[in-house]
Amino acid sequence: MVKAIKFNSLGERLEEIELPASVFDVDVNAPKVLLNEVVTMYLANQRQGSRRTPVRVHGGRAFAILPKDWYRPIPRTKKRMALKVALTDRAREGRIFIVESFNFDKPNTKKALELLGKIAPEKGRKLVVTDGHHVPTVKSFTNLPDVMTDRADGLYAYEVLKSSYIIMTQDALQKVEEVFSS
């Protein structure tokens, strides 16, 4: 049974809630090997663009011989299992916090910083997960150093491993369970 601390929108501690075992309590035979493989493939597949386009002066040739495509597809089951292993790791360490909701009518970085200071006062990267793209909330947290924001249905293992603390809304927790429990 993995538990997380639940806070209200003002940053006051309410209770401990139980996280869904299908996502946050997963055992795999070789978790480090799986995470290494998925993160390596993810980093290798990031676009390595070039400024040598044929449109620019002194750019490349228009119909030149193209280099080999090094893209390696990551199987969906491996990707999801790696995400579950990363979330399990953070949950077992007690680094996942649940917030009822973020009540930002307009972007307010000062209020966001105060809220983060109450929830996770230690230094380290924080990942704020919302259930959808709520513009004022995203803009409030974007200016803060060492804070990343993402939607619940777009999480990936590298992002979770890169952050020390994960702060998600109650709706985002339900969305994560709905999307990644299968």
Q: Given this model, what pLDDT does residue 62 score?
A: 78
Q: What pTM does this model have?
A: 0.84
Query: Which secondary structure element, helix H or strand E, spans residue 41, and what is its range?
Result: helix 31-45
Q: Distance (Å, rounded) from C-alpha 104 to C-alpha 102?
A: 6
Per-residue pLDDT at 49: 57
pLDDT by residue (tens digit) across 43-101?
888 766 566 667 767 777 778 787 777 788 889 999 999 999 999 999 999 999 999 99
Average pLDDT, the chain: 89
pLDDT of residue 129: 95
Query: What pLDDT does 47 receive?
Result: 64
Report pLDDT for 150. Answer: 93
Give the SS3 label for residue 121: coil
For residues 161-175, give the mean pLDDT. Answer: 95
pLDDT of 31 higher than 60 = yes
d(CA 69, CA 74): 15
The Cα 30–Cα 100 span in angstroms is 35
**CATH number of the domain at 3-26+76-180, please?**
3.40.1370.10
Rounded CA separation 111/178 (Å): 30
Residue ranges covered by each domain of the chain: 3-26+76-180
> What average pLDDT does this structure show over 145-154?
93
Distance, CA of 102 to CA of 179 (rounded, Å): 21
Q: Which residue has the tokens 């000062």?
A: 110
Residue 96 in contact with residue 24, Cβ under 8 Å? yes
pLDDT at 112 over 90: yes
* 61's tokens: 């040739």
For residue 125, what pLDDT band results from cuts at 50, 70 and 90? very high
Q: What is the mean pLDDT of residues 34-51?
A: 81
Structure tokens at 135: 């513009």
